[in-house]
Amino acid sequence: METTPGTIVQVDIENFFYTRTLHLPDGYDNVRCAVYDELFFRHKIAYFCTFASPCHIVKVDLDKFTIEKSLVLDTDEDKCAAIAIDGKTGIALMYLWTDPGKLVRICTKPKVVIDAVLDEVEVQALEDYGEHEAERERQMRERFKQLRATQLVQRWARHRLAVKKARVERARLIALRDKATSFIQRVMRGLLGRLRFKRIRLAYFNQNRATAMAVAQRAARASKQAAKVRDSNREMDWLNKRVEAIKFIQRLWRGRCPHTIFHRFGVVIVMWIGLVG
């Protein structure tokens, strides 16, 4: 925080509430920028820079929340506006709000300040290194082009081989499809033939069954007709006998038969018993 002296406040981000505060010593005013060293394996370390004259950089242990080390820059190096750090090399780069602006590199292991202005030897070395790197880059690009062309040729060859295999597989699948189609057709023809034969047999069986049922029904009707005729003949026979008995009684009463009165009465009783029976 930009206070006099500077103050560092710790906040729990998950629950979002105030945890604790660290007050810097006198002269460490206006803390404006900070950076977190993610590649520091032993514990959590952060660096805080002040916007003061001269500039101060403070190394803070976030686990214990205490000041571990501090560094004061030179007199003309003040007002740090931004800071970045390379965790692998331990180099921190600070931008100073001066006129003209300055860049200060600091080696955090150990504490060493490297001036921002390079001499002629260093500039020439950087130029030579740049030309060498450019040549290496050009060679690498050429090599990459060659490898890329080789990869494209290999990919084309693999593609052609895959197309050939796909055509062979397609021909095999078409042959299998034709065989399956012919087999299904044979099966369908066989099923239809069996079904047609079954229908013919069923029709023949139904016809024979209908004929047998007609014959049986005809015999049943004939037997019923015979029973009716027999009952009718029995009734006609009984009526005929009754008529003959009545005529015989009439003849007896008229005296056509030369018998005595007793004989006539006995005959009448016998005939009446016969008719009743």
Indicate whether 57 belongs to any domain.
yes
Indicate whether 142 belongs to any domain.
no
Strands 45-50 and 31-37: antiparallel
Indicate whether 163 belongs to any domain.
no
Q: What is the mean pLDDT of residues 188-216?
A: 74
Question: What percent of the chain lies above the pLDDT cut of 70?
Answer: 82
Phi, psi of 5 (to 5 degrees): -70, 175
d(CA 84, CA 86): 7
What is the span of the domain harbouring residue 245?
A: 239-276
Q: Buried b vs exposed e over 55-75: b needs ≥16 C-beta within 10 Å?
A: bbbbbbbbeeeebeebbebee
What pLDDT shows up at residue 262? Answer: 46
CB 80 within 8 A of CB 97: yes
Total-model pTM: 0.40
What token pair was written down for 37? 């060293």
pLDDT in tens, 122-149: 556 556 665 666 677 778 888 888 888 8
CB 270 within 8 A of CB 252: no
Q: How many CB atoms lie within 10 A of CB 226?
A: 10
Q: Which three-class secondary structure state does DSSP give residue 4?
A: coil
Indicate whether 76 belongs to any domain.
yes
| Number of domains forming the structure of the chain | 2
Q: Which among 72, 91, 117 is the end of a domain?
A: 117
**CATH code at 100?**
2.120.10.30
d(CA 33, CA 93): 12
pLDDT in tens, 50-88: 988 888 899 998 888 888 888 888 888 888 888 888 777
Indicate whether 223 belongs to any domain.
no
pLDDT in tens, 78-115: 888 888 887 777 788 888 888 877 888 887 766 444 44
What pLDDT shows up at residue 170? Answer: 92
CB 180 within 8 A of CB 172: no
Distances from the Cα of 171 to the Cα of 89, 158, 163, 168, 271, angstroms: 63, 20, 12, 5, 112
Q: Which among 117, 135, 166 is the end of a domain?
A: 117
Phi, psi of 92 (to 5 degrees): -110, 135
Indicate whether 176 belongs to any domain.
no
Q: What is the DSSP string of 156-205?
A: HHHHHHHHHHHHHHHHHHHHHHHHHHHHHHHHHHHHHHHHHHHHHHHHHH
Indicate whether 30 belongs to any domain.
yes
Q: Which among 117, 142, 159 is the end of a domain?
A: 117
Indicate whether 230 belongs to any domain.
no
Q: How many CB atoms lie within 10 A of CB 107?
A: 13
